[in-house]
């Protein structure tokens, strides 16, 4: 099976590594704008051959993965389709789908989006197991050829992922809701706080981890995110409008001093978070453990090590240093009653109070 990969970075490189590891007869041909990075990809075993052009990469290919940034995808997919034979399925890995799928009506094209690796980039972070167990959305359209879709489906399975067919519009709303909107809110929050603080000439009060957590992704790389925001602008704008409506309700309940309504709203959010966390994670209910620890080098290690030795896995973790930077609160999320109980015991044995 000859597989063409256009754009050999984190995702393209990982596709190459996974295909070469899991497919016996795979021959991966890569193409990218930078000859240097292409050489690097070959040196790392992500591709068998570096092509000199899109045409050369597509020659005889049965599948082609377009891995350009979202803004460059329509052009890259068109180039690939122009060079591809009749029996070649062309897909992409962009994080938004409707715009692209609407623009490309070729029967050999099926949109795709593996949910993996958003946090780093570059072929040096590529791994053969990047897609192990990952959802890989596929957005076939009315004209997509059945046999080509099936080939892509099997290919995605052999890369280790779980292909999930989804309508392009639904995909974009889903991603807007759980990824793009949180980024928008982080940006708004950080700019609003900067304005409030500058106006009052006050230092940023250390009020626990909420502000830090909520603004961690603020101002993410414009090179990546401007494209993502714009490519998904309709779904995202709709999500923002819904947020505006929800915020208006909260503001109204607050101004009315309506305790029951505020409490009910908060309880529903509590329940929603619990449901989402549990749906998200195998291994049972997620427990939140809060501990107070000295904030010196080595403490995180001490806690993590004690849990690691006992085979307790930390699902998520947050640190909140106290103002003196000498002590702090650590929050751990552990899945499953048994693991959480074990973690609680181990932390108590270390002498840290745990809630």
Say how many residues touch a copy of itself, by CB under 8 A.
Answer: 143
**Of 40, 79, 92, 239, the one binding a copy of itself by CB under 8 A:** 239
Q: Does 209 bind a copy of itself (CB under 8 A)?
A: yes
Joined together, the tokens standing for residue 11 give: 């995702």
Cβ-based nearer residue to a copy of itself, 28 or 161: 161
Contact in structure between 131 and 164 (CB atoms under 8 Å)? no
Q: Is the dihedral of CA 175, 178, 181, 184 positive or negative?
A: negative
3-state secondary structure 195-261: HHHHHHCCCCCCCCCHHHHHCCCCCCCHHHHHHHHHHCHHHHHHHHHHHHHHHHHHHHHHHCCCHHH
Q: Does 76 bind a copy of itself (CB under 8 A)?
A: no
Coil/strand/helix, residue 161: coil
Q: Does 348 bind a copy of itself (CB under 8 A)?
A: no
* Binding to a copy of itself, residues 131-190 (CB under 8 A): 132-135, 137, 160, 164, 166, 170, 173-175, 177-179, 181-190
Q: Does 324 bind a copy of itself (CB under 8 A)?
A: yes
Q: Does 267 bind a copy of itself (CB under 8 A)?
A: yes
Contact in structure between 53 and 32 (CB atoms under 8 Å)? no
Q: Does 351 bind a copy of itself (CB under 8 A)?
A: no
Cβ-based nearer residue to a copy of itself, 84 or 330: 330
Helix axes 233-255, 222-231, angle to 10 degrees: 90
**Of 82, 305, 337, 338, the one binding a copy of itself by CB under 8 A:** 305
* Binding to a copy of itself, residues 115-134 (CB under 8 A): 115-122, 124-125, 127, 129-130, 132-134
Q: How far is the CB of 130 from a copy of itself (least distance, A)?
A: 7
**Of 157, 327, 342, 345, the one binding a copy of itself by CB under 8 A:** 327
Q: Give the containing element (helix H, strand E) for 291.
A: strand 286-294
Q: Which residues pair with 138 in a beta bridge?
A: 112, 165
Q: Which residues pair with 30 in a beta bridge?
A: 5, 50
**Of 142, 147, 298, 351, the one binding a copy of itself by CB under 8 A:** 298
């Amino acid at each position: 099976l000859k597989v063409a990969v256009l754009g050999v970075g984190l995702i393209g490189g990982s596709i190459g590594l996974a295909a070469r590891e899991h497919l016996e007869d795979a021959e991966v041909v890569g193409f990218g704008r930078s000859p240097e990075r292409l050489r690097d990809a070959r040196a790392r075993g992500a591709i068998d051959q570096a092509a000199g052009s899109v045409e050369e990469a597509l020659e005889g290919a049965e599948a082609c993965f377009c891995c350009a940034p979202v803004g460059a995808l329509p052009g890259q997919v068109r180039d690939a389709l122009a060079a591809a034979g009749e029996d070649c399925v062309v897909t992409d890995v962009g994080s938004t789908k409707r715009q692209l799928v609407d623009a490309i009506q070729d029967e050999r094209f099926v949109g795709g989006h593996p949910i993996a690796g958003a946090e780093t980039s570059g072929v040096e972070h590529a791994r053969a197991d990047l897609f192990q167990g990952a959802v890989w959305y596929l957005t076939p359209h009315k004209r997509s050829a059945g046999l080509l879709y099936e080939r892509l489906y099997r290919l995605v399975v052999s890369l280790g992922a779980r292909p999930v067919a989804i309508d392009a519009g639904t995909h974009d709303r889903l991603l807007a809701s759980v990824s793009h909107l949180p980024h928008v809110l982080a940006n708004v929050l950080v700019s609003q706080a900067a304005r409030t603080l500058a106006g009052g000439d006050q230092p940023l009060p250390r009020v626990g981890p909420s502000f830090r957590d909520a603004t961690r992704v603020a101002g993410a790389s414009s090179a990546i995110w401007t494209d993502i925001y714009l490519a998904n602008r309709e779904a995202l704008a709709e999500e923002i409008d819904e947020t505006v409506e929800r915020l208006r309700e909260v503001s109204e309940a607050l101004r009315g001093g309506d305790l029951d309504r505020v409490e009910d709203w908060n309880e529903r959010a509590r329940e929603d978070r619990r449901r989402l966390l549990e749906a998200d994670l195998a291994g049972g209910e997620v427990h939140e453990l809060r501990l107070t620890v000295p904030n010196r080098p080595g403490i995180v290690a001490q806690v993590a090590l004690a849990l690691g030795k006992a085979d307790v896995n930390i699902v998520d973790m947050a640190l909140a240093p106290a103002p003196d930077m000498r002590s702090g609160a650590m929050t751990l999320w552990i899945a499953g009653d048994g693991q959480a109980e074990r973690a609680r015991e181990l932390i108590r044995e270390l002498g840290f109070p745990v809630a």
